[in-house]
Structure 1
Amino acid sequence: MKGSSLVIKVGTKAKNIRIIEGDHDIDCKIDGVGAMQLKSEFVKKA
């Protein structure tokens, strides 16, 4: 993951997804990492 010391692999599932305003469109929680904000252009619906 760019700009972070944490590594999140492809296929990692996010929980508690919410749509928010701003540069990052998605607010979610990832097991083992915690709360995170993601850009919708890098997310795929499973």
Structure 2
Amino acid sequence: GAGNYVEVQGTAEGAAFSRKEMDALLVLAEKGIKELVGLQKKSLSN
């Protein structure tokens, strides 16, 4: 896709998180999504 967000949800249990922490979470999420898409494409091509 285009890398745009459809929905982002977050809950701060005990303490709120900072913008820096949110940005780090988004980076991790993007990495994980790219890995999953790659694995799905590989699986479907076999």
TM range (shorter): under 0.3
Higher strand share: 1
Higher helix share: 2
Q: TM-score, normalised by structure 2?
A: 0.21
| Larger gyration radius, structure 1 or structure 2 | 2
